[in-house]
Protein backbone atom coordinates (compact mmCIF):
# COMPACT_ATOMS: atom_id res chain seq x y z
CA UNK A 1 0.00 0.00 0.00
CA UNK A 2 2.85 2.35 0.82
CA UNK A 3 4.45 1.61 -2.55
CA UNK A 4 1.21 2.55 -4.33
CA UNK A 5 0.95 5.82 -2.34
CA UNK A 6 4.55 6.62 -3.15
CA UNK A 7 3.96 5.90 -6.82
CA UNK A 8 0.90 8.14 -6.92
CA UNK A 9 2.80 10.94 -5.17
CA UNK A 10 5.65 10.69 -7.72
CA UNK A 11 3.17 10.76 -10.64
CA UNK A 12 1.51 13.86 -9.15
CA UNK A 13 4.86 15.66 -8.79
CA UNK A 14 5.79 14.85 -12.40
CA UNK A 15 2.43 16.23 -13.62
CA UNK A 16 2.95 19.45 -11.68
CA UNK A 17 6.43 19.89 -13.14
CA UNK A 18 5.06 19.40 -16.65
CA UNK A 19 2.04 21.69 -16.24
CA UNK A 20 3.61 24.49 -14.20
CA UNK A 21 5.47 26.20 -17.10
CA UNK A 22 2.20 26.40 -19.05
CA UNK A 23 0.41 28.22 -16.19
CA UNK A 24 1.53 31.71 -17.12
CA UNK A 25 -0.01 34.94 -15.83
CA UNK A 26 -2.72 36.21 -18.15
CA UNK A 27 -2.52 39.53 -19.99
CA UNK A 28 -3.92 42.58 -18.21
CA UNK A 29 -7.46 43.47 -19.19
CA UNK A 30 -8.35 46.76 -20.91
CA UNK A 31 -8.43 49.91 -18.78
CA UNK A 32 -11.87 50.77 -17.51
CA UNK A 33 -13.50 54.10 -18.28
CA UNK A 34 -12.74 57.03 -16.01
CA UNK A 35 -15.47 57.92 -13.58
CA UNK A 36 -17.30 61.22 -13.76
CA UNK A 37 -15.67 64.25 -12.19
CA UNK A 38 -17.02 65.14 -8.78
CA UNK A 39 -18.84 68.39 -8.20
CA UNK A 40 -16.83 71.44 -7.20
CA UNK A 41 -16.85 72.18 -3.49
CA UNK A 42 -18.63 75.20 -2.07
CA UNK A 43 -16.79 78.44 -1.34
CA UNK A 44 -17.57 80.92 1.43
CA UNK A 45 -17.25 84.44 0.04
CA UNK A 46 -17.41 87.60 2.13
CA UNK A 47 -17.69 91.32 1.67
CA UNK A 48 -19.31 94.50 2.91
CA UNK A 49 -22.90 94.55 1.63
CA UNK A 50 -25.20 92.00 0.02
CA UNK A 51 -23.74 89.79 -2.75
CA UNK A 52 -24.18 90.84 -6.37
CA UNK A 53 -25.92 88.53 -8.81
CA UNK A 54 -22.64 87.79 -10.60
CA UNK A 55 -20.69 86.93 -7.44
CA UNK A 56 -19.81 83.30 -6.80
CA UNK A 57 -21.06 80.05 -8.32
CA UNK A 58 -24.00 77.80 -7.61
CA UNK A 59 -23.50 76.11 -4.26
CA UNK A 60 -21.41 78.96 -2.80
CA UNK A 61 -22.18 80.89 0.38
CA UNK A 62 -21.67 84.58 1.09
CA UNK A 63 -21.23 86.36 4.43
CA UNK A 64 -22.11 90.07 4.57
CA UNK A 65 -19.68 91.36 7.21
CA UNK A 66 -21.53 94.65 7.65
CA UNK A 67 -24.78 93.00 8.79
CA UNK A 68 -23.54 89.46 9.57
CA UNK A 69 -26.07 87.91 7.20
CA UNK A 70 -25.29 84.58 5.56
CA UNK A 71 -26.54 84.00 2.01
CA UNK A 72 -26.66 80.70 0.16
CA UNK A 73 -26.26 78.19 -1.09
CA UNK A 74 -26.52 80.09 -4.38
CA UNK A 75 -28.80 78.52 -6.98
CA UNK A 76 -29.74 79.24 -10.57
CA UNK A 77 -32.31 81.68 -9.17
CA UNK A 78 -29.69 83.69 -7.29
CA UNK A 79 -28.65 84.20 -3.68
CA UNK A 80 -32.08 84.51 -2.11
CA UNK A 81 -32.55 86.11 1.29
CA UNK A 82 -29.88 86.10 4.00
CA UNK A 83 -29.99 84.66 7.50
CA UNK A 84 -28.84 86.93 10.30
CA UNK A 85 -26.25 85.37 12.56
CA UNK A 86 -26.28 85.86 16.31
CA UNK A 87 -23.45 87.15 18.46
CA UNK A 88 -22.53 90.27 16.50
CA UNK A 89 -20.46 91.36 19.50
CA UNK A 90 -17.87 88.86 18.28
CA UNK A 91 -17.37 90.83 15.05
CA UNK A 92 -14.85 93.67 15.27
CA UNK A 93 -14.20 96.26 12.56
CA UNK A 94 -11.06 98.39 12.57
CA UNK A 95 -10.84 101.19 9.99
CA UNK A 96 -7.71 103.30 9.54
CA UNK A 97 -5.91 105.46 6.97
CA UNK A 98 -2.44 105.17 5.47
CA UNK A 99 -1.07 108.50 4.25
CA UNK A 100 1.19 108.47 1.22
CA UNK A 101 4.12 109.41 3.46
CA UNK A 102 3.42 106.51 5.86
CA UNK A 103 4.74 103.82 3.52
CA UNK A 104 8.21 102.63 4.58
CA UNK A 105 10.94 101.34 2.28
CA UNK A 106 11.77 98.49 2.32
CA UNK A 107 10.59 94.97 3.19
CA UNK A 108 10.31 91.72 1.24
CA UNK A 109 6.99 90.00 0.62
CA UNK A 110 7.63 86.25 0.34
CA UNK A 111 5.41 83.52 -1.05
CA UNK A 112 6.02 79.90 -1.96
CA UNK A 113 6.29 79.12 -5.68
CA UNK A 114 6.69 75.37 -5.15
CA UNK A 115 7.45 72.94 -2.37
CA UNK A 116 10.70 74.14 -0.82
CA UNK A 117 11.04 77.18 -3.09
CA UNK A 118 10.00 80.79 -2.45
CA UNK A 119 10.04 84.08 -4.31
CA UNK A 120 10.18 87.55 -2.81
CA UNK A 121 9.24 91.05 -3.95
CA UNK A 122 10.88 94.14 -2.52
CA UNK A 123 8.04 96.28 -1.20
CA UNK A 124 7.07 99.33 0.75
CA UNK A 125 5.14 98.46 3.90
CA UNK A 126 2.98 99.83 6.69
CA UNK A 127 2.53 98.19 10.11
CA UNK A 128 -0.80 98.52 11.92
CA UNK A 129 -0.94 97.41 15.55
CA UNK A 130 -4.13 95.65 16.66
CA UNK A 131 -4.32 93.83 20.01
CA UNK A 132 -7.42 91.87 18.91
CA UNK A 133 -5.28 89.95 16.41
CA UNK A 134 -4.56 87.10 18.79
CA UNK A 135 -3.15 83.71 17.86
CA UNK A 136 -6.52 82.15 18.72
CA UNK A 137 -8.32 84.50 16.32
CA UNK A 138 -5.77 83.72 13.60
CA UNK A 139 -6.17 79.97 14.18
CA UNK A 140 -9.94 79.67 14.59
CA UNK A 141 -11.52 82.93 13.40
CA UNK A 142 -11.83 84.73 10.09
CA UNK A 143 -9.88 87.85 9.12
CA UNK A 144 -10.46 89.88 5.98
CA UNK A 145 -8.84 93.11 4.80
CA UNK A 146 -10.30 95.69 2.41
CA UNK A 147 -8.89 98.87 0.94
CA UNK A 148 -10.18 101.94 -0.90
CA UNK A 149 -7.54 102.13 -3.61
CA UNK A 150 -8.91 105.24 -5.32
CA UNK A 151 -10.03 107.80 -2.75
CA UNK A 152 -10.55 110.45 -5.44
CA UNK A 153 -12.86 108.80 -8.00
CA UNK A 154 -14.26 106.01 -5.78
CA UNK A 155 -14.06 107.29 -2.20
CA UNK A 156 -16.59 104.78 -0.82
CA UNK A 157 -15.68 101.65 -2.75
CA UNK A 158 -13.74 99.00 -0.86
CA UNK A 159 -11.74 96.34 -2.70
CA UNK A 160 -10.80 93.02 -1.11
CA UNK A 161 -7.08 92.58 -0.58
CA UNK A 162 -4.81 91.13 -1.96
CA UNK A 163 -5.34 93.34 -5.02
CA UNK A 164 -3.45 93.56 -8.32
CA UNK A 165 -3.98 96.14 -11.03
CA UNK A 166 -2.14 96.22 -14.36
CA UNK A 167 -0.74 99.54 -15.56
CA UNK A 168 -3.08 100.72 -18.33
CA UNK A 169 -0.86 102.37 -20.92
CA UNK A 170 1.90 99.87 -21.67
CA UNK A 171 0.94 96.92 -19.43
CA UNK A 172 4.62 96.79 -18.54
CA UNK A 173 4.01 96.23 -14.84
CA UNK A 174 1.31 95.80 -12.19
CA UNK A 175 0.52 97.50 -8.88
CA UNK A 176 0.11 95.12 -5.93
CA UNK A 177 -1.39 95.45 -2.46
CA UNK A 178 -1.26 92.52 -0.08
CA UNK A 179 -0.77 91.82 3.64
CA UNK A 180 0.44 89.43 6.31
CA UNK A 181 -0.91 88.89 9.82
CA UNK A 182 0.91 87.91 12.99
CA UNK A 183 -0.38 88.20 16.57
CA UNK A 184 -0.88 91.88 17.35
CA UNK A 185 0.05 93.24 13.91
CA UNK A 186 -1.24 93.63 10.37
CA UNK A 187 1.46 94.44 7.81
CA UNK A 188 0.42 95.84 4.43
CA UNK A 189 2.69 95.71 1.38
CA UNK A 190 2.83 97.77 -1.80
CA UNK A 191 5.06 96.62 -4.67
CA UNK A 192 5.41 96.38 -8.44
CA UNK A 193 5.54 93.18 -10.47
CA UNK A 194 7.02 93.32 -13.97
CA UNK A 195 5.03 92.02 -16.94
CA UNK A 196 6.86 92.91 -20.16
CA UNK A 197 8.82 96.02 -19.26
CA UNK A 198 10.39 98.13 -16.54
CA UNK A 199 8.53 99.25 -13.43
CA UNK A 200 8.99 102.56 -11.58
CA UNK A 201 11.76 102.78 -9.01
CA UNK A 202 10.04 101.69 -5.82
CA UNK A 203 12.41 103.46 -3.43
CA UNK A 204 11.42 106.89 -4.79
CA UNK A 205 7.83 106.06 -5.78
CA UNK A 206 5.08 107.56 -3.60
CA UNK A 207 2.07 105.20 -3.30
CA UNK A 208 -1.35 106.83 -3.04
CA UNK A 209 -3.07 107.09 0.35
CA UNK A 210 -5.06 104.03 1.30
CA UNK A 211 -8.09 103.61 3.56
CA UNK A 212 -8.15 100.16 5.14
CA UNK A 213 -10.91 98.16 6.82
CA UNK A 214 -9.89 95.19 8.94
CA UNK A 215 -12.74 92.77 9.76
CA UNK A 216 -12.17 90.25 12.54
CA UNK A 217 -14.69 87.48 13.19
CA UNK A 218 -14.24 85.28 16.26
CA UNK A 219 -14.15 81.51 16.15
CA UNK A 220 -17.61 81.36 17.77
CA UNK A 221 -19.16 83.12 14.78
CA UNK A 222 -17.16 80.99 12.34
CA UNK A 223 -18.48 77.86 14.06
CA UNK A 224 -22.01 79.23 13.80
CA UNK A 225 -21.53 79.89 10.10
CA UNK A 226 -20.23 76.36 9.55
CA UNK A 227 -23.14 74.87 11.49
CA UNK A 228 -25.70 76.94 9.60
CA UNK A 229 -24.13 75.96 6.28
CA UNK A 230 -24.38 72.28 7.23
CA UNK A 231 -28.01 72.71 8.24
CA UNK A 232 -29.02 74.60 5.10
CA UNK A 233 -27.15 72.17 2.87
CA UNK A 234 -28.48 69.03 4.57
CA UNK A 235 -32.11 70.13 4.86
CA UNK A 236 -32.15 72.17 1.64
CA UNK A 237 -33.95 75.03 3.32
CA UNK A 238 -35.76 77.36 0.93
CA UNK A 239 -33.99 80.63 0.23
Overall number of domains in the chain: 1
pLDDT for residue 222: 65
Q: Tell whether 14 is covered by a domain.
A: no
pLDDT for residue 206: 94
Average pLDDT across each block of 10 residues of the chain; the chain has 239 residues. List them in order.
49 50 58 62 78 88 80 87 68 92 95 90 96 92 90 85 89 94 97 92 94 86 67 54
Q: Tell whether 10 is covered by a domain.
A: no
Answer for the pair 82, 66: CB distance below 8 angstroms, yes or no. Answer: no
pLDDT for residue 24: 55
pLDDT for residue 2: 44
3-state secondary structure the chain: CHHHHHHHHHHHHHHHHHHHHHCCCCCCCCCCCCCCCCCCCCCEEEECCCCCCCCCCCCCEEEECCCCEEECCCECCECCCCEECCCHHHEEEEEEEECCCCCEEEEEEEEEEECCEEEEEEEEEEEEECCCCCHHHHHHCEEEEEEECCCCCCCCCCEECCEEEECCCCCCEEEEEEEEEECCEEEEEEEEEECCCCCCCCCCCCCCCEEEEEEEECHHHHHHHHHHHHHHHHHCCCC
Q: Tell whether 76 is covered by a domain.
A: no
CB atoms within 10 A of CB 190: 21
Q: Tell whether 153 is covered by a domain.
A: yes
Q: Tell whether 138 is covered by a domain.
A: yes
Q: Tell whether 59 is covered by a domain.
A: no
Kindly report whether the global pTM for this prediction surpasses the value 0.85.
no
- Best CA proximity match to 209, nearest among 100, 101, 96, 102: 100
Q: Tell whether 161 is covered by a domain.
A: yes
Range of the domain at 137: 87-219
Q: Tell whether 141 is covered by a domain.
A: yes
Amino acid sequence: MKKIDTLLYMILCVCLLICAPACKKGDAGPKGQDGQNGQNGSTILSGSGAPTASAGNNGDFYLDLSTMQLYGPKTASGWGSGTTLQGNANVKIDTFNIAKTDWVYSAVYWFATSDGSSQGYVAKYFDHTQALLTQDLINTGMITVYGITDRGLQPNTYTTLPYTFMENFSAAYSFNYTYTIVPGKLRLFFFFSKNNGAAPTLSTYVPPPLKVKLAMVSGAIVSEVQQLIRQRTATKLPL
